[in-house]
Amino acid sequence: MKVVAIILAAGKGERFGTDKISLPLGGKPIWQWSFEAFLRHPLVDSVGLVGPATISHPKAFFACAGGASRQESARSGLAHCEPDDIVLFQDGARPFVSADEITRVVEAAKRSGAAGTAITMRDTIRKSGSHDLVDRDELMAMQTPQGGQASLFLKAHEASTGSSTDDLDLLHQVGIAFELVEGSASNFKITTKEDYERAKMVVGAMETRTGIGFDIHRFSTDSARKLWLGGIEFPEELALEGHSDADVVLHAITDSILGAAAMGDIGQHFPNTDPRWKNCDSSVFLQHAVSIVGAAGFELVNIDVTMIGEKPRVMPFAGQIRARIGELTGISIERIGFKATTNEGLGSIGRAEGISAFAVATLRFRG
């Protein structure tokens, strides 16, 4: 006895408008999400694919063509199973099936012969074309996986003359009982373009990237220079040396943002040999970094920075610095951490020869 999952991916996507099943979602085709979810599940022995010839995977137990209806496609996949297998039918258009849902269906199928996931209705339901409400407590929305003893499904498919979009319905038609287990709203099916947009948002929220930035500048002997830290001017304090305004805090943040998107570093984008950046306000660098990572599909989630220096005392200005970084990056002040520490007199920073800063930034992929 094996547990065999069958990914159904042979639909035409009529309600979607085009062939949806191989559209990209977070760097892989939609169908591959559920394929991989079953592949890595400890209770699943093998995973087969029913779909067009363009769909294949080196780890697929089988890959075969589907039929004109979902039912026919399920039957094509079933032909690769042994009667004593537990078969699990999964819509390839449901990328977010969870391990728990798979576990629940396998356990219930072993217990009861067959099982599938369903969710209760949350909205009030009205019959289309009438003003009558339907009691939502009498309704369940069916999801996948659905499955059970392959012998039961072989028998039900054999007997069926119609076409059902529900695997358990075939069993029901021949009087075979099944168990319903809890599904989840997250395991939604990509049926329309709006569902696809939602799926991309879910993937974006799952994928975050973190970048680190570091910078160090020595104090300047040039009395004409001004000290800038975190986008704030400290006119009374000793300035830092540098090609630009030498704002170590903004430089570290800029590098952390570029780093999170693997888009190089500040020196690459603003070479210190380029006269355009001479004495430049570093807010230009930071804004540019936010803008180019934004164009690449990333949204800034948060920034945290630690400045290390014996002087000046900057913590009284932390609120102002965070507000300025917020203005430059477009994120709210609660998403911006700013801290400062001395170097306890140790090393070059400890001898007050300069100031350094570390920053981390998190980006979310928005696609």
Judged by beta carbon, residue 48 or residue 66, the one nearer ligand CTP is: 66
- CB 95, CB 33: distance < 8 Å: yes
Q: Which of 2, 13, 43, 326 binds ligand CTP (CB under 6 A)?
A: 13
Q: Does 14 bind ligand CTP (CB under 6 A)?
A: yes
The answer to whether the Cα torsion of 12, 16, 17, 22 is positive or negative is negative
Q: Does 11 bind ligand CTP (CB under 6 A)?
A: yes
Q: What residues numbered 56-85 form the site for ligand CTP, per CB under 6 A? A: 66-70, 73
Length of the chain: 367
> How far is 363 from 244, CA to CA, in rounded Å?
26
Binding segment (CB under 6 A) for ligand CTP, from list 87-95, 214-222, 236-244, 273-281: 87-95
Q: Which of 98, 112, 160, 191 binds ligand CTP (CB under 6 A)?
A: 191
Judged by beta carbon, residue 13 or residue 326, the one nearer ligand CTP is: 13
Residue among 16, 9, 113 at smallest CA distance from 53: 9
Q: Which residue is nearest to ligand CTP (CB)?
A: 11
For the bound state, the minimum distance from the C-beta of residue 70 to Mg ion, rounded and expressed in Å, comes to: 6
Q: What are phi and psi of 126, to 5 degrees?
A: -120, 140
Binding segment (CB under 6 A) for ligand CTP, from list 4-12, 151-159, 170-178, 255-263: 4-12
- CB 27, CB 206: distance < 8 Å: no
DSSP annotation string for 181-225: EE--TTS----SHHHHHHHHHHHHHH-EEEEEEEEEEEBP--TT-
* One character per residue 131-170, x = contact with ligand CTP (rule: CB under 6 A): ----------------------------------------
Judged by beta carbon, residue 11 or residue 309, the one nearer Mg ion is: 11
For the bound state, the minimum distance from the C-beta of residue 61 to ligand CTP, rounded and expressed in Å, comes to: 16
SS (H, E, C) 35-98: HHHHHCCCCCCEEEEECCCCCCCCCCCCEECCCCCHHHHHHHHHCCCCCCCEEEEEECCCCCCC
* One character per residue 110-129, x = contact with ligand CTP (rule: CB under 6 A): --------------------
> How far is 50 from 144, CA to CA, in rounded Å?
15
Sites of contact with ligand CTP (CB under 6 A):
8-16, 21, 50, 66-70, 73, 91-93, 189, 191
